[in-house]
Amino acid sequence: MTAGRGFTGNIAAATERLEGLTRRHGLPPGAATTLRTLLELVAQEPIALTSVRDPLVAVDVHVADSLVALDLDVVRGARAIADLGAGAGFPGFALAVALPLASVSLVESVHKKCAFLRRAAQHAALSNVDVVCARVEQWSDGQGKADLVTARALAPLPAVLEYAAPLLRVGGAVVAWKGRRDRLEERDGEAAADLLGLSEPRALRVEPFAGAGERFLYLSSKLSATSPRYPRRPGMARKRPLGPSTTG
């Protein structure tokens, strides 16, 4: 989306919406301005970070959808967050704005996206954001350090759990954003969680914005240490997801 009269009008309307989200979620002073900056950067970035770039749409689809996780105590209380498959930066950027005392690692394997994330974090003065340009399976420095792992539109639930579990401290939690519920995916997720030392994932219905349709946050807590065999080598979590078909 290029700058122009329509862009300016959409940014103004998005700003009003951001101010409403700031009040709804009790965000820190200046949060709406920072989030507006991020939406502008996404809209103007030449590379295709996301199919939703219009600020007036993105304010709901990206920002409101991210901030709804603040309804969960485990998210509000997080101080070390790893956002997997960060892409255009959501939910990671939104949570970094909302939780200035938290350290947020944006994990992304595509170098062009990593470059954008670094520029955006610097431009928005988000000093609590770190960009990790690596496949999550190979991010050994992150293992056992997070008290919250987030994943939005990343992968089927069993794969998300396999990526997240090794990064979590015992007592930490993973939150995965999903649309319509898939009972087979949920059953596979339950089996994966059992193997990984996680609690059975709970599907929590949320309504981040009017007309959002079916939206769920899947919440699973780390109960015990994860076997060192996980995560498996890159690509295996998607190619051979943990579940009844691979656990017997």
Name the strands in the sheet holding 168-178, side by side, starting at the edge strand that comes first in the sequence: 129-133, 103-108, 80-84, 146-152, 168-178, 216-221, 202-205
What is the DSSP annotation of 56-72? HHHIIIIIIHHHGGGGS
Q: How is the chain split into domains, by residue range?
A: 57-247
Q: Give the position of tokens 């996780």.
A: 69
Q: Which two tokens stand for residue 179?
A: 């649309």
Q: What is the pTM of this model?
A: 0.93
Q: Which two tokens stand for residue 15?
A: 């700003």
Chain centre distance of CA 231: 19
pLDDT at 9: 63
Chain centre distance of CA 106: 9
Neighbours of 23 (CB within 10 A): 9
Q: Give the position of tokens 């008290």.
A: 147
Give the dihedral sign, CA 41/45/48/51: positive
Going by C-alpha positions, the residue among 186, 242, 228, 210 that lies closest to residue 68 is 210
What count of residues does the chain have?
A: 248
pLDDT tens, position by position, for the chain (248 residues)? 445 444 566 888 899 999 999 999 999 999 999 999 999 999 999 888 888 889 999 999 999 999 999 999 999 999 999 999 999 999 999 999 999 999 999 999 999 999 999 999 999 999 999 999 999 999 999 999 999 999 998 999 999 999 999 999 999 999 999 999 999 999 999 999 999 999 999 999 999 999 999 999 999 999 999 999 999 999 999 999 997 755 44
Question: For residue 169, with 0-12 CB atoms within 10 Å meaning exposed, 13-18 middle and 19 or more buried, which class applies?
Answer: middle
Q: Which two tokens stand for residue 46?
A: 């030449």
pLDDT at 7: 57
Sheet strands (E) in the chain: 80-84, 103-108, 129-133, 146-152, 168-178, 202-205, 216-221
Q: Is 122 left (phi over 0), alpha (psi -120 to 50) or beta?
A: alpha
Q: Which CATH superfamily is domain 57-247 in?
A: Vaccinia Virus protein VP39 (3.40.50.150)
DSSP annotation of 89 reads T
* pLDDT tens sequence across 178-228: 999 999 999 999 999 999 999 999 999 999 999 999 999 999 999 999 999
pLDDT at 48: 80
DSSP annotation of 195 reads H
